[in-house]
Amino acid sequence: MPSTPLKEIPPPKAGADVVEPTETKRSPASVVQPALRTVYFDYDSAQLREDAKETLRENARWLQEHPQVEVQVQGHCDERGTVEYNFNLGQRRADAVKAFLVALGIAPNRIHTISYGKERPAVLGHNEDAWRLNRRAEFHTY
C-alpha cells in the first residue's frame, strides 16, 4: 500500500498568534465567577442571612440557565476559633448553601461542598473588616 506523503506545515510568521491544541478545560473563572456571587455569614453562624438568600436566588437562576455547570461550594471562616471548629463551621456553611439551592430546584448532584475553615482567607487582617469578608461561601465551577 503506497504511503501518502505528509504535508509540511511552515512555521508561524514572527509575531503571529500560535494556538496550541489543548485538552478540554473547565470554564475560566473570569467567565463564570462574576455570575455566581459569594455569600457571607454572621460570626459563628451557618444560618443564611436575608442578603445571602437573595444572592443565592440569583445564583440559582443562573444555574438553571446553565444546566451543564456543576459547582463546588467552598465554606470559609474567619481566623478566630480552632482549626477543627472552623472546618466544621465551614462545612455547615457550605451545606446550608447547598440545601437552599436544592430547595430552589437545583439538582443536588450538581453541587459539591467542601470546607477550608480558616485556611484560605479572602482578606488578611485581624479586625472585623477582614473577618466579615472571610466568613463566606464561594462558588467554583466544573
Structure confidence by residue, pLDDT tens digits, 123-140: 999 999 999 999 999 999
Residue 28's DSSP bridge partners are: none
- Percentage above 90 pLDDT, the chain: 75
pLDDT at 13: 56
Domains along the chain with CATH numbers: 29-141 (3.30.1330.60)
pLDDT of 25 > 50? The answer is no
In this predicted model, what pLDDT tens digit does every residue of 47-83 receive, in sequence order? 999 999 999 999 999 999 999 999 999 999 999 999 9
- pLDDT: is 136 or 20 the higher one? 136
| CA dihedral for 45, 91, 75, 140, sign (positive or negative) | negative
- Would you place residue 97 in the very low, low, confident or very high pLDDT band (cuts 50, 70, 90)? very high
Of the two residues 89 and 6, the one the predictor is more confident about is: 89
Cα(40)–Cα(46) distance, rounded to whole angstroms? Answer: 9
